[in-house]
């Protein structure tokens, strides 16, 4: 299933790499020392926001 999500054609790989690098730069600018810590924060925050909008959390 994970192979279905891969972007492989045209300029898509370069565009995805650009977006990834941009996100990493923004997270580093927020003061995260490690990328996994930043990903964990973003993942939790995005999930918690959705729960708050639904009135669950």
pLDDT confidence bin for 18, thresholds 50/70/90: very high
The number of folded domains in the chain is 1
Note the pTM of the prediction, 2 decimals.
0.52
pLDDT (tens digit, 9 = 90+) per residue, 21-55?
Answer: 998 888 888 888 888 888 777 776 666 766 777 77
Residue 12 has pLDDT above 60, yes or no: yes
Whole-angstrom distance, CA of residue 8 vs CA of residue 39: 24
**Which residue range is the domain that position 7 belongs to?**
2-54
d(CA 57, CA 2): 30
């Amino acid at each position: 299933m994970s192979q279905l999500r891969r972007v492989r054609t045209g300029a898509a790989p370069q565009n995805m790499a650009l977006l990834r690098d941009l996100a990493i730069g923004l997270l580093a600018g927020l003061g995260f020392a490690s990328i996994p810590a930043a990903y964990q924060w973003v993942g939790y925050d995005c999930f918690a926001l959705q729960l708050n909008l639904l009135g669950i959390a």
